[in-house]
Structure 1
Amino acid sequence: MSFADRPLWTPSAERVASTALIRFRDAFNAREGLSLKTYAELHAASIERREAFWSLVWDFAGVKGEKGARILADDHMPGASCFPDARLNFAENLLSCSDDGDAIVFRGEDKARARLSWRDLQDRVSQAQQWMASLGVGVGDRVAAMMPNLPDTVALMLATASLGATWSSCSPDFGVKGVLDRFGQIEPKLFIACDGYWYAGKRLPIADKLADIVPQLPTAATVAIVDYLGEAEAVAASLPRAVSLTVALDRFPAKAPTFVRLPFNHPLYILYSSGTTGAPKCIVHGAGGTLLQHLKEHQLHCDIRPDDRVFYFTTCGWMMWNWLVSALASKAALMLFDGSPFHPSPTTLFDYAQAERFSVFGASAKYIDACKKAELRPRDTHDLSSVRLIASTGSPLAPESFDYVYEAVKPDMHLASVSGGTDIVSCFVLGDPTSPVYRGELQAPGLGMAVEVWDEAGRPLTQGKGELVCTRSFPSMPIMFWNDPGAVKYSAAYFDRFPGVWCHGDFAEWTPHGGLIIHGRSDATLNPGGVRIGTAEIYAQVEQIPEVVEALAIGQDWDNDVRVVLFVRLAPGAALDDALQQRIRARIRAGASPRHVPAKIVAVADIPRTKSGKITELAVRDVVHGREVKNKEALANADALDLFRNLPELMS
């Protein structure tokens, strides 16, 4: 493929010199007797001298705890051990401020607003901590929460972590089976839920769902209902073992919270695989690895500073919520939002950014593409002068979306498309605030992450497409999967393909600038005629066509080969006639290659996606081939799968 010759944005010398990344590089040079200058040199040294690198991350970020003398006790994957002598508490590191400055600002689409100072947040965490301790919640217990992205959710997570218990959350739009498939496996001691939520102007109570869920979580000795719709007490009264959270916390005075310091890999979070190919895997992440990785990504890659105002559009069922909350450890304020990003206005999030002076604006690639299709021009309508970084993840950001951000949102600003996942609760590839941004490219592999691209035989590639792998261990690897004796599922998930090497499942390619392009998930890679094609390459072309709202591509087994089938959801009033099909094929042929051109194009009314908004190619592929989709509860709109069943267009 062709790569951009000229950058879309280059940081000024003054901006580069002011970054934490440069201060860190200079500290690393001084500590190790080096003379590193470029990001590429720093990255190479962070791999070659990993113990020194991660030790300095701890010191540079001011981690509260006892670091210990050893940094890497075991470097084998799986089973690597980092900071084996360290002790810390995750919540203590996120609550190091206690003044009257903003810690959390909240907006809900129902016009709900809240503002918590650092002192307010500490008080709320303290009350929740005392209440949880009175219930016997402590080290090793699980607390499960079905919650919107509220300040209370953050405070309850911090209280859980302060006691050494383990937090797991999902959003309230999950169905009964989706909740039980997740929380039923981890057997929580405490279950927390809201009384309902708002979305797209609709008030959505969940009392009926809770009536089905609570009896099937028998280990939850207490159920707490958080008030969002004004019905918490009534909902609590209708459920066994339930209490209104407000009533429960009012019994405890606000005072300084206390913190239990525990080993580096003490379980902090349980996150979940998407579950579209079976029951969700329960991925357990350690407190130290999560904290250290997020501090590195926030401070060095995003240049987040004390008093910054950090926003990411996310729900509590996506790992970006966990990533966002960690910004408190850098003494930045969280900007929380819950609801539809386009209600009551398409500019809702930009209105919020202007009013609260965001420093970091994070959203999914799909959100940015939707703004482009809606022809929003925030640079003409909003004051975004405070925004230094726009971050995008969830799926590859199309080259045209890079153009859109710099042309229509803000021209002088760092745009970082990042890629990682729930599996590592962080990123493999992300932004570099000291280097140029090129169209369609993720700027750089993460510091301390030994990222390579391998071919089918396990040979490193310097050009061309292959599997994204990580050849050395890193702190935020999962510490285990829940209920996985012998780590059988864990090993199979990441290490079966290349033993001893993390294979992430992304189809990737290096660029001449030292960045990467992610071409989609490798398990969704198309193989017409034996040539591997990334679905993201097709979407980048198709979604530029105004009539196409979104698209999904699969490989259909056909005539002893694989043919590319493209499904398109069209804009209102558009029709998939011969002329539009010809334009779609021509666009793909010119912008990608003749190999990418679909054999079949089919219009559908909806495209299935996971709860975190990602389209689910594998589930559609299974339906088209007549195979059972094992866990429809993982999908936000499972009914859409029926649109792909027994299609006459695919019978010939």
Structure 2
Amino acid sequence: MSERVPIWTPMDEDTTLADFARWCVTNRGAPAAITGDYQALWRWSVDELAEFWGAVGEYFGVVGDGPVLVGDEMPGVRWFPGTTVNYVWHVFRDRPGDGVALIDVTESGLRRELTWADLARDVAAFAGTLRGFGVQAGDRVAGYLPNTAESVIAFLGTASIGAVWAACGQDYSPHAAAERFGQLEPVVLVAADGYRFGGRERSRSAEVAQLRELLPSVKHTVVVNRLAQKSTMDGVVDWAGAVAGDHHVHPAPVDFDHPLWVLFSSGTTGRPKGIVHGHGGVLLEHLKVLRLHSDLGPGDVFFWYTSPSWMVWNYLVSVLLVGATVVCYDGSPTHPGPDLQWALAAEHGVTFLGTSPGLLAAGARAGLEPARDHDLSALRAIGSSGSLLPADAYHWVAEHVGPHVQVVSTSGGTDVVSAFAGGAPNLPVWPGELSGPCLGVALEAWDAEGHAVVGEQGELVVTKPMPSMPLRFWDDADGSRYREAYFSTYPGVWRHGDWITITERGSVVVHGRSDATLNRNGIRMGSADIHQIVEGLSEVDEALVIGAERPGGGYWMPLFVKTADGVLDDALREKIRSEIKRLLSPRHVPDDIVAVPALPHTRTGKKLEVPVKRVLQGAPAAEVADPGSVDDAGLLAVFEHYRRTRTEKEQNA
């Protein structure tokens, strides 16, 4: 756990969160204590769950009078029955036509600005094109696209008519994309002819053609020409034609729980699960997080390096709900240099910058000085998600970006398309910790007996429903896969699969995935605790520790490291062991320390802990993960070779 001295403390008391709390006291009878105490506000938000979410809906003008919640046990509750909404209506509600809604930037330096009027016109035109195709509410539209303005327009146009959106980036192969989209039987495919990454143009025309063949349900294809002036494929509509003409947005009212989009799990432990979220649940959850927790609104500029494959892209688009400007970037995050994100933040006056622990660590290793080399005077917060943000990254931001910049590390996921825990404008930031549970999230840490614990590691559970929990999984008519995924361990309680500690002051420490738990001699340990220490060494780029039960008994805990210079000698091994022993305990010291050329990740950047564990336990590398869901599936063979070599050595001993 990190030191007990905050690295950032709140300074601005004039926030949307403060106004909301006062409004709840005046209009909802909430206790006066919530106006000056985040923990009191959070406690009220979960103790009086229906009252809180009703207040969020009324405060932001999403819902009016009527029942908030029907049912009291997860899954199966219904939110705001009888209420109609449309996500897109709230995107364009009361927007200044000439204000900048979206900035589209390419790796080659091309930049486009779309005003709210421009965006509304193109969204309306695309919606008209879909209607012309015969697309109706409930039909599916699939996007095989990079992170561009066209991706945003296609999604908003789809949602505006009540059709259902699904997307993935073009780094996915056609087969990997079809593994996802094929479940939905989309009637329209929107695809780009390619993208630019790392200084190279990467044509995807052949891949788009192959994907069309793999999706027999697709009746119409719209091609976004990123590399060519006009598509060379037969039977397609070019993007320019799809958004031609002067149109006006008329979003169709849909039920509160009408499907908005389908997001997909990583697919590293089986067929990717199609996770269905609704218009109303996403609206309330994202307005809460973006306005109350992040204090974003008109005048803010939001940039998070992401891809349509990752839920952060959906979160990025939702920034439009609060009237802030979104920056879409298509390209490598480190080309032509490692300071690209800082340069973009300076150029576009970014106020909230989202990044990853890996990119912050890479900047530290490269000796970047963002505050010195770039004008970051507009920047007030940095978000981080995807994996644990180590304590030294908080210090690096304070020293090299600015002590006034709030670091907002979050823990959540695709499952709820939001966060369970993160930051708030009136909460301090402690290095290595998430500032607190999010409003309306009944977050607890449970021990092995299912009791809530404070100050010790436990399972991350959510004991009451959230509006953005999945409506269902796709192709799961009886709900059995959904219940098995989240509710099989603790009936009626959401188990997410992470180890956390909730501290005495209410902050949250994440220890890693509980389904990849280290359990040596009955002592449960989080892998992230070890990763944080090892990756804090200048000689190590990345680390992965695995705890594997062995056939016939016994336990095996190797540590795999990618070193900065490709060298792992006995001196570095001993240094790693000593640091783990000093900062954690002797029982955390691994059995082996093994050099690897690189570590495999999901395409959203998460280490493949469970698939690697399965390989070490004897599963063939080719069977533990869908190659299309992994950044370099060939790396799994490295672990297979290690398992085989070690087994042979033991047999010959």
TM-score normalised to the size of structure 2?
0.96
Q: Tell me the percent identity.
A: 38
Contact map agreement 2:547 2:556 (CA 8 A) in 1: yes
Aligned residue in 2 for 1:623: 615
Measured in 1, the distance between the counterparts of 2:229 and 2:208 equals 13
1:372 aligns with 2:370: no
- Residue in structure 2 matched with residue 427 of structure 1 by the alignment: 419
Letter in 2 for 1:318: W
Worse overlay, 438-447 or 380-389: 380-389
User: One-letter code of the match for 2:469?
Assistant: M
SS at structure 1 position matched to 2:524: coil
Query: Where does residue 249 of structure 1 map in the other structure?
Result: 243
The SS at the match of 2:76 is coil
Which residue of structure 1 aligns with residue 25 of structure 2?
29
Distance in 2 (alpha carbons) for counterparts of 1:224 and 1:8: 49
User: Is contact 1:174-1:636 (8 Å) kept?
Assistant: no
| Alpha carbons of structure 1 residues 412 and 248: separation in structure 2 relative to 1, 3 Å | closer
CA contact (8 A) 1:359 1:386 kept: yes
| Cα distance between partner residues in 2 of 1:367 and 1:18 | 32
- What is the CA distance between 1:98 and its match in structure 2? 4.4
- Residue 68 of structure 1: CA displacement? 4.3
Residue in structure 1 matched with residue 575 of structure 2 by the alignment: 583
Distance 1:531 1:274 in 2: 29
What is the CA distance between 1:626 and its match in structure 2?
Answer: 2.2
What one-letter code is carried by the residue in structure 2 that aligns with 1:148? P
Aligned equivalent of 1:9: 8
Paired residue type of 1:352: L
Matching residue within 62, 65, 69 for 1:72: 69
- Provide the residue aligned with 2:56 in structure 1: 57
- Listed as ranges, the matches of 1:111-510 within 5 Å are 111-230=109-228, 232-234=230-232, 236-237=233-234, 241-250=235-244, 253-510=245-502
Say which SS state the counterpart of residue 6 (structure 2) adopts: coil
| Matches for 1:582-621 after TM superposition, within 5 Å | 582-621=574-613
Residue 68 of structure 2 aligns to which amino acid in structure 1? I
Counterpart contact for 2:125–2:242, Cα < 8 Å? no
Question: In structure 1, which of residues 626, 644, 647 is the aligned counterpart of residue 639 of structure 2?
Answer: 644
SS in structure 2 of the partner of residue 257 of structure 1: coil
What is the CA–CA distance in structure 2 between the aligned matches of 1:366 and 1:282, rounded to whole Å? 27
Report 1:517-556 matches (<5 A).
517-556=509-548
Contact 2:2–2:391 (8 Å) recurs in 1: no
Shift of 1:649: 5.8
Note the alpha carbon deviations across 1:334-365, whole angstroms, 9 max, x for none. Answer: 01112111101111111111111111001112
Amino acid at match of 1:121: L
Q: Deviations over 1:95-138 (max 9, x none)?
A: 22141111001211122211101111011111101111100112
Alignment deviations for residues 285-312 of structure 1 (CA, whole Å, 9 cap, x no partner): 0010011000000011111121211111
How far apart are 1:630 and its partner, in Å? Answer: 4.2
Distance (Å, rounded) in 2 between the aligned partners of 1:349 and 1:391: 13
SS in 1 for 2:332: coil
Question: CA 1:368–1:249 in structure 2 vs 1: closer, same or farther (change >3 Å)?
Answer: same
- Cα distance in 2 between the residues matched to 1:171 and 1:650: 38
- SS in structure 2 at match of 1:566: strand
Offset, 1:650 = 3.3
Instruction: Please name the residue that 2:553 is paired with.
Output: 560
Q: Deviations over 1:161-212 (max 9, x none)?
A: 0000000000000012210110000100101110011111121111222232
**Are the aligned partners of 1:195 and 1:232 in contact in 2 as well (CA < 8 Å)?**
no
Contact kept in structure 2, 1:273 and 1:280, CA below 8 Å = yes
- Deviations, residues 25-72 of structure 1 (Å, cap 9, x unaligned): 111111233212310000010111112211111122233xx5341111
1:569 corresponds to = 562
Secondary structure class of the residue paired with 2:328: strand
C-alpha distance in structure 2 between counterparts of 1:67 and 1:80, whole Å = 19
**Where in structure 2 are there 5+ consecutive unaligned residues?**
none
The superposition leaves residues 589-647 of structure 1 with CA deviations (integer Å, 9 ceiling, x where unpaired) of 12222222111011111211111111111111122222131422211211111111131
The 10-residue stretch of structure 1 (257-266 or 560-569) with the greater mean CA deviation from structure 2: 560-569
**2:33 aligned with 1:40, yes or no?**
no
1:460-492 CA distances to partner (integer Å, 9 max, x unpaired)?
Answer: 111211100000011001001001021010000
Partner of 2:483: helix, strand, or coil?
A: helix
What is the aligned length?
639
Which secondary structure does the structure 2 equivalent of 1:532 belong to? strand
Equivalent position SS for 1:144: strand
Say which SS state the counterpart of residue 383 (structure 1) adopts.
coil
Instruction: Between 100-109 and 224-233, report the one with greater CA deviation.
Output: 224-233
Secondary structure of 2:32 counterpart: coil
SS in 2 for 1:468: strand
What code does the residue aligned with 1:100 have? Answer: D
Q: Aligned partners of 1:546 and 1:630: how far apart in 2?
A: 31
TM-score (norm 1): 0.96
- Does the 8 A contact of 1:67 with 1:85 survive in 2? no
| Counterpart-to-counterpart distance in 2, 1:56 and 1:491 | 29
RMSD of aligned alpha carbons: 1.3
Amino acid at match of 1:84: P
The amino acid of 1:31's aligned partner reads N
Amino acid at match of 1:74: G
- Secondary structure at the aligned position of 2:568 is classed as coil
Look up the equivalent residue of 1:452 and give its one-letter code: E
* Separation (CA, whole Å) in 2 of partners of 1:146 and 1:334: 20
CA contact (8 A) 2:454 2:504 kept: no
Structure-2 residue corresponding to 1:95: 92
Runs of at least 5 residues in structure 1 that lack an aligned partner in the other structure: none
Aligned to 1:85: 82
Deviations 1:501-542 (A, max 9, x none): 000111100123211001011111111112111111111111
Contact 1:602 1:649 survives alignment (8 Å): no
The SS at the match of 1:341 is coil
State the distance in 2 between where 1:530 and 1:632 align: 34
Quick one: distance in 2 between partners of 1:510 and 1:49?
21
